[in-house]
Amino acid sequence: MIIQLGEVPWLIVSSSDMACAIMRTHDSIFASRPSIVVTDIIRFEDVAFEPYGEDWRQLKRIFTTHLMSNKMVGSYKTVREGEINTLVRKISNHASLSNGGPIDLTSPFFSFMTSLICRVVCGKFVLEEGRYHAFREMVEETFRLASRFSIGDLFPSMPWMETLIGLSRRANRNREKWDRLLHEVIRVHIQRGESDRCQEISFVDMLLSLRNDATINVELTTDRIKGLVGDAFAAGIDTTYITLDWAMSELLRNPKEMKKLQEEVRGIVKHNNMVTSEELTKMYYLRAVIKETLRLHPPLPLLLPRESMEECEINGFTIPKGTKVIINAWAIGREAKSWEAAEEFMPERFINSQVEYKGNSFHLIPFGAGRRICPGIAFATATSELVLANLVHHFDWELPEGMTTDEFDMSESPGMSVHRKDRLRLVVKHVLASN
């Protein structure tokens, strides 16, 4: 469906067939990003919003190879498992102090992801020097701004209209904060030098070392390093903890599925051991639960917008050059022709199924597809699976006293990323002490 909003034509994609046409058949035409007022102000030269071209291809290659490849995700094993151990202990302590009452899980999930991304991207010293809270606040503020409507996106020929709302001023302040924070992180890394680095080699360390690498076909300026680091924080924190929030919500609303998952995990992991990355390969139902959660609750329900770089024809309709494209992954994940009982939480649908979320099954696209597919799939899924497995292994969970599954509120909050409207508060009934 093409609609005219202000001066700009928009193509709204809400079917898997049309998504395939955009992200596979005509992917080379729709591989660019449009100019968006807020993100144009906030972002540095990054991967997420950079227009399509050779610079973008080189930056994506660096981002994927040196941060989000399967090899790199595997190298974070010790850090990831250590942070999950900390999360399990934190939940256990909260449960001990709650006297049988509900505990908040949303905040620990967010803290866990912030700490994990800080260590992987910037190194442990960021946590030690207190910058952890600054990154957490910046990510929250950035997503709030990116979720706001901007009249300048509808009337790009009249930028003065944006000043009436004041969103640009807030975005500029946000960028200034990011600039100061990232500049200081880079400065400290340079000052510390190779001789003073700990054993955890961070993404920033790698980026700085690549500046003099002759095989890199793009200049890694300070702004580009800031952009790549900013992408890691924005994409890595919010989306993954949202998936954990919704996965636990669905499991508590569907106790039979929770029991089945716990039986699988506890049948593989003995006694009070932490679940390890190696054991995940045996947990087929766990992966099905994550897939079903992403189907019903894609963290970015409208993905990131695209823009046509030239005129093309799809299904008899002419799509003008410069059309902005919104792909509704939320609606596609509930498409009746693709999914039996589309509104129901049924992880079993993915058992012995070839459907996956890596860009080849266009009725399941929580990470997008094509050239602009999210490069952080391996990191996000490895983290979500390992956290969820440990949560159901070490704890038994119940809804707050007196609340039935029908009364459990599953309302969504509006925004660029879709959170639960209310914080996730659950009762821990049994705690299995962890080593």
Binding residues for heme: 374
Give residues with Cβ within 8 angstroms of 166, minimum separation 6.
none
The runs of H, that is alpha helices, within 193-283 are 203-210, 222-253, 255-268
Longest dimension (CA), the chain: 65
Asked whether the beta carbons of 349 and 387 are under 8 A apart, the reply is: no
Asked whether the beta carbons of 382 and 120 are under 8 A apart, the reply is: no
> Cα 30 to chain center, whole Å?
22
Selection from 338, 246, 229 nearest residue 301 by Cα: 246
CA–CA distance from 223 to each of 44, 230, 293, 344 (Å)?
A: 6, 10, 36, 45
Whole-number Å distance between alpha carbons of 10 and 26: 16
Per the annotation, binding residues are: 374
If you search the block for the tokens 């609609």, which residue do you land on?
A: 3
If you search the block for the tokens 């693709």, which residue do you land on?
A: 338
Question: Which long-range CB contacts under 8 A does 205-213 form with residues at least 24 apart?
Answer: 205/123, 206/66, 206/67, 207/62, 207/66, 210/62, 210/66
Residue 98 CB: number of other CB atoms within 10 A?
13
Asked whether the beta carbons of 242 and 380 are under 8 A apart, the reply is: no
Structure tokens, 139: 């990510």
